[in-house]
Structure 1
Amino acid sequence: MAKSTDVNDLLTAYQKQARKIPAKGVYASKQRQIEVQAAHARKVMRQRRRSVGKSNKLGCRITAEMRVALICEMNFWALVCRSNRQQVIKD
């Protein structure tokens, strides 16, 4: 036969449970929390840089559109430099 629970047992169990102080957080201080989050962010960024390959450290793929835009920009700057050089020669 099971032991019957009386009111005193219930009261003491409740008091023990209520006496426990709930945890405020995982970290000891706000400073420690910031440190851990920053370390995690650094780790994620390092993994992303390493996973893309040695030739692409920026973490983005160079698509055809990006390559065309880069060539157009290089042509623009070449034109600017050429015109500046011609102006200097004329003077």
Structure 2
Amino acid sequence: MHRRREEPDVSENANTVDRVKDVVGIVFKTEAQALAEDTRFVEDLRSKSMNTIELAAMLENEFGVPVSCHVLRKYKTVGETATLMDGLLGNG
């Protein structure tokens, strides 16, 4: 009897994207399901510097790794931020 190898349901990055969307939704008081990987912080969500500080703190809390506001500011979209988090976690 051969056992079929099970494939993972989602990639590591997809899980990270969902987690980032959840955090972004809380910070910007919007539904996570309404966010896409190409959702832009400044243009689409009207991000201000205080939002960046809050987002960095909440991402640190969610993922358990330090997130610099200065670094986070360089990432313009939800998807780019998920890529950053994967890199910080060693998944990228």
Query: Which structure shows the bigger proportion of residues in helix conformation?
Result: 1
TM score, norm. by length of structure 1: 0.24
Greater Rg over alpha carbons, structure: 1
TM-score w.r.t. structure 2 length? 0.23
